[in-house]
A and B are shown apart, each in its own frame.
Chain A
Amino acid sequence: MFDLGYTLQIVILGTVFLGAISGILGTFVVLRNQALIGDALSHATLPGIMIAYMLTGVRSLQVLLLGAFISALVAMFALNTIKKYTTIKFDASMALILSGFFGVGQVFLSQIQKTGGASQAGLSRFILGQAATMLRRDVYFIVIVALVVLLLLIVFWKELKLYIFDENFYKASGLSERFISGLLTMMVTFIIVIGIRLVGVILMSALIIAPPVAARQLSNRFYLNVGIAGFIGAVSGMTGTYLSATRANLPTGPVIALVLGGVVLLALLASPRNGIVKRYVQIRIFRSRIKRYRKLIHLYENPGEVNLDSKEYTYFINHDYVKVEDGALRVTSKGMKRIRSIKAVD
């Protein structure tokens, strides 16, 4: 690699795994139309981190992440309770949870910063992420969790796929909803928790949402969506970490989000499915053809009533689109084919 320090290589290894697994799992989440849950959960981890620190006074990543994990579960429970017992719309309740938990976390953080000694330094890194200062064993921890989630995804692949495509049919097939939705929530929470140290609670959801959105533009197959999203996540994670670690003190989260934003934009432009470039080109072709063949179409629809200038006349005659028959201009079969093809630009 580009003559990186050994530590940076390890950290980049961590972000590659994190990016890949976030994109892979994110495909399931986004296709289930639950992109925002990831965002709410990641913001909701902040108070847990702070409480874990306040209770234990240690800065071990594993302890803090345990706090984050519990905090996210509490948020999930609160979300479900609101859904069950109130008429608040789900997106509104997610926004409530997101801002409420994040606010509480920030209050705790500023309290700790006021009173705490040297050991509290670094807690604020959880807001926007800071990959460069990670310990090697923290990276290994991330890699292991990512591999466990990947394994779970492979094992429950077909059930997950059916569940996110057609929930009712899944249940009617006798498969357990409680298990699969619990599994999905658990996996999302795991990935968020291992990601917040690297990417930060604010932008962690970008790593879950952006790769699948870009991948959806590029493929129509489920497994390819998953694969492409994983690849985009890995590359963006790597690029973002490299840039943030080698430029003076850029937080990792925003840099990764920026890279991801660029990838999504590129995918939207270049998509063979419905890309902006493709549509623009199609419209241009259509317009120029209409301009060139306007009179030919007119002649076809109103035989005999057309005034061609000499340039048009020679062009149509030379291309065998019209011929003179009984002293009148007629559209040939080749000309008709041409007219039909104008309507079907592909």
Chain B
Amino acid sequence: MNHVFKVEDLSVAYDRQPVLWDIDLDIPSGILLGIVGPNGAGKSTLVKTALGLVKPLSGDVRFMGEPYSKVYKKIGYVPQKGSVDWDFPTTVFDVVLMGRYGHIGWLRRVGKKDRQATRDALEKVGMFEYRNRQISELSGGQQQRVFLARALVQDADIYFMDEPFAGVDVKTERAIVGLLKELKANDKTVIVVHHDLNTVKDYFDWLTLLNIKVIAHGPVDEVYTKENVRRTYQADTLMSMEREINV
């Protein structure tokens, strides 16, 4: 299998508090991977480090053998929806169009193709009628669809999504799952930070159980065992106890 995303010996700390410790991951192309773990397990940090948003203490992240700065046009990103101010004065269409900016580049204007891609993506997530809406008027599920559409116009091969199911309605959750499976069917690799253990088996074909360290990583059928899950969530209580003692 072709490995599109590889993490080696990665450690990340905020101040002196380790958030990720000695992470090794090999991610083959064309899979739908869930990253699951308790709060504070470093799931978001792992994604942010992969995208160069957080500087690691040590270790290496490669995409198809290249560093992020060489392949960013091939990578799509759905940040946590709480990471922006939804009262920002702009429209749904504009936010989605922003997904094209990295491709358009400096000093160039938005073109017809970019607008068309934006319309297509909005259509795909069922938000086309809302294109002229002010973003503060959207529900949680609609906000998430907008972010998803913005990632779609990035026209990427690998997608990172940080909690795309957080705070969305059942209908949106189903729509997003459908979209993820469609991306996979088109040979895209999708890496999703997720928090709901109950849906892991239905949504993903690969699973990473994470709690500061990688507890288990591989195809869902092999990784999703009672023992592994217990170790992931038990490690959390141990770690947090250690943390309290350290303080």
Instruction: Please report the number of residue pairs spanning A and B whose Cβ atoms sit closer than 8 angstroms.
Output: 73
Determine which of A33, A158, A159, A172 lies in contact with B53 in the assembled complex, contact meaning CB atoms within 8 Å.
A172
Query: By the criterion of a CB under 8 Å from any partner CB, how many residues of chain B are at the interface?
Result: 31
Q: Which residue of A lies closest to B54 (CB)?
A: A168
Of residues 201 through 225 on chain A, the ones whose CB sits less than 8 Å from some CB of chain B are 216, 219-222, 224-225
Interchain CB contact under 8 A, B106 and A169: no
Given A159-B101, A222-B90, A172 and B77 contact (CB-CB distance below 8 Å): yes
Asked if A165 and B73 make an inter-chain contact with CB atoms under 8 angstroms apart, the answer reads no
A155 is an interface residue with CB less than 8 A from chain B: yes
Q: Does B98 contact A (CB under 8 A)?
A: yes
Asked if A135 is an interface residue, CB under 8 A from chain B, the answer is no
A81 at the interface (CB under 8 A from B): no
B134 at the interface (CB under 8 A from A): yes
Q: Kindly report which residue of chain A lies nearest to residue B77, judged by CB atoms.
A: A172
Nearest-CB residue, chain B, relative to A212: B89
- Could you give, for residues 76-109 of chain B, a 1 whenever the CB lies within 8 Å of some chain A CB and a 0 otherwise? 0101000111001111001100110110101100
CA distance A159 to B109 in the complex (A): 11
Taking a contact as CB atoms under 8 Å apart, the answer to whether B79 and A168 are in contact is yes
In the complex, A162 has a CB within 8 A of chain B: yes
Which B41-88 residues sit within 8 Å CB-CB of chain A?
48, 51-53, 69, 72-73, 75, 77, 79, 83-85, 88
B110 in the interface (beta carbon within 8 A)? yes
In the complex, what residue of chain A is closest to B162 when comparing beta carbons? A168
Does more than half of chain A's interface fall in helix, strand or loop, or is it mixed? helix
Specify which chain A residues have a CB less than 8 angstroms from the CB of B106 in the assembled complex.
156, 159, 175
- Docked pose: A162 CA to B88 CA in angstroms: 11
Q: Does A166 have its Cβ within 8 Å of any Cβ on chain B? A: yes
Closest Cβ of chain A to B45, distance in Å, is 12
- Bound-complex Cα distance A155 to B107 (A): 6
**Are A168 and B53 within 8 A (Cβ)?**
yes
Question: Known contacts being A169-B79, A173-B102, is A225 close to B89, with CB within 8 Å?
Answer: yes
The answer on a CB contact under 8 Å between B79 and A221 is no
Q: Which residues of B132-178 are within 8 A (CB) of A?
A: 134, 136, 150, 154
Task: List residues of chain B with CB within 8 A of the CB of A221.
Answer: 89-91
Residue-wise, chain A 150-161 has the 8 Å CB interface mask toward B (1 for contact) of 000001101101
* Docked complex Cα distance between A172 and B53 (Å): 7
Determine the distance from Cα of A175 to Cα of B52 in the docked complex, in whole angstroms: 11
Q: B88, B110, B154: which contacts A165 (Cβ < 8 A)?
A: B88
Residue pair B75, A172 in contact (C-beta under 8 Å): yes
State whether the Cβ of A145 lies closer than 8 Å to any Cβ in chain B.
no
Q: Which residues of A contact B48 (CB under 8 A)?
A: 168
On chain B, the residues within 8 Å of A222 by CB distance are: 88-90, 94
Confirm or deny: A70 has a beta carbon within 8 angstroms of a beta carbon on chain B: no
Q: Contact: A220 with B89, CB < 8 Å?
A: yes
Q: For B150, what are the chain A residues with a Cβ–Cβ distance below 8 Å?
A: 169
Interface residues of A in 13-39 (CB under 8 A from B): 31, 33
Cα(A156)–Cα(B73), bound, Å: 20
A61 to B48, CA, bound (A): 47
A175 to B154, CA, bound (A): 14
Measured in the bound complex, the distance between the Cα atoms of B77 and A304 in whole Å is 60
Q: Which residues of B contact A159 (CB under 8 A)?
A: 101, 106
Bound complex: CA A169 to CA B153 (Å): 13
- For B90, the chain A residues whose CB sits under 8 A away are 161, 165, 221-222
Q: Could you tell me the distance between the alpha carbons of A221 and B106 in the complex, rounded to whole angstroms?
A: 23
Task: Tell yes or no: A294 within 8 A of B by CB.
Answer: no
Distance in angstroms from B16 CB to nearest chain A CB is: 13
CB distance from B117 to the nearest CB of A (A): 14
CA distance A157 to B51 in the complex (A): 24
- Complex: chain A residue closest to B136, CB-CB: A220
Known: A171-B53, A222-B89. A158 touches B95 (CB 8 A): no
> Nearest 6 pairs between A and B by C-beta?
A173-B102, A174-B72, A220-B134, A172-B77, A172-B51, A166-B84
| 7 A-B pairs (CB sep. < 8 Å) | A162-B101, A166-B98, A172-B51, A174-B72, A175-B101, A175-B106, A222-B88
Beyond A162-B98, A225-B89, 16 additional contacts (C-beta under 8 Å) are: A158-B98, A158-B104, A159-B101, A161-B90, A161-B98, A166-B98, A168-B48, A170-B101, A171-B51, A172-B52, A172-B72, A172-B79, A175-B101, A175-B102, A222-B89, A224-B89
Residues of A whose CB lies within 8 Å of any CB of B are: 31, 33, 155-156, 158-159, 161-162, 165-166, 168-175, 216, 219-222, 224-225
